[in-house]
Amino acid sequence: MHRSSAAPGLIPYILLGVAGFSWGITFSLAKIAAEAGAHPIGLTFWQAVVGFVILGTFSLVRRRWPVMNRRSLIRSGLVALTGTVVPTTLYFYAAIHLSAGIMSITVAMVPIMTYAASLIIGSDAYQPKRLVGLTLGFTGMVLLVHPDALPDRTVLPWLLVAMLCALCYTLENLYVDNRVPPDVDMAGLLTLSMMIALLILGSVMLPLNAFTPLSYPFTALEYAVLGMGLITSFAYLIFLYLIQTCGAVFASMMAYMVTLSGVAWGMLLFGEQHSLMVWVVLLLILLGMLLVKPLEHKEQDQIDAQR
């Protein structure tokens, strides 16, 4: 799809705000589901079920069902592992111990970690302002383990688990950006990845007795599981639409909305209160995200010409 070079109109901004604000609540929903006593693997399985139904329906409506060959299965399998199976399961484990606000802050490190890894493998360009952003972001994460930010030291291992989730999303970003051709239908890729995630999770869920039954009438658990699946699927589709129509630079602004709304939802739903150090961490990471955002086409063309 052709990406317009004109300034986005009002609709893209509305979509950006709605998707980012709603996506942020999934951290609180994950905490609600985890605290209900459901097994993290079972919760991830239901996430994949809802995601597959929604994305599969979207693919059918578009009459673009994903092609299943060796290459597409490997591609979708890697996306399933790094984007759903491993990080989502670990997040459900961490959600029992961490606040929704802290979890949303760790996700904010994904674009910063992505740029750091891109520099290492040589797939992205060095730029002074982006290096400053990288430094600010990692400084924020170091400060997050300070006693004033994380007074309960027993949850430190779970903070590291949450950071491992962010690393998984970083690997997914790198793989999609560097190994997935631009003409690949992303909705189809996600549909097939959800199908593979279901098979992987189902194969380990039953032996571990990790299946989480959903009942009717719905309780907080069922509402949380369905809410996460619906919001994540629709927000992801909006995100991909904005990338295709407005470009990666504009779409990357959604990360700010997700992080800020994740903190806000945690305060609203759980009465979470954060120390001054946590707010300093959040500010540093948001500034870091601002500085390492994807380059505009003109900036990238200038850098490529200098190589």
Q: What would the pLDDT profile of 59-96 be if each residue is shown by its tens digit?
A: 888 888 888 889 999 999 999 999 899 999 999 999 99
In a domain, 217, yes or no: yes
Spatial distance between the Cα atoms of 285 and 271, rounded to a whole number of angstroms: 23
In a domain, 273, yes or no: yes
Average pLDDT over residues 282-300: 73
Spatial distance between the Cα atoms of 95 and 103, rounded to a whole number of angstroms: 8
* pLDDT at residue 304 tops 70: no
In a domain, 242, yes or no: yes
In a domain, 301, yes or no: no
DSSP letter, residue 123: -
In a domain, 109, yes or no: yes
Both structure tokens of 217: 């009438």
In a domain, 77, yes or no: yes
How many distinct structural domains can be found in the chain?
1
What is the pTM for the complete model shown? 0.86
pLDDT 10s digits, 173-203: 888 878 888 788 888 888 999 999 999 999 9
CA end-to-end distance (rounded Å), the chain: 29
Q: Which domain covers residue 262, as residue numbers?
A: 10-293
pLDDT 10s digits, 201-258: 999 998 999 988 888 888 999 999 999 989 988 887 787 777 767 766 677 678 788 8
* pLDDT at residue 107 tops 80: yes
In a domain, 307, yes or no: no
In a domain, 269, yes or no: yes
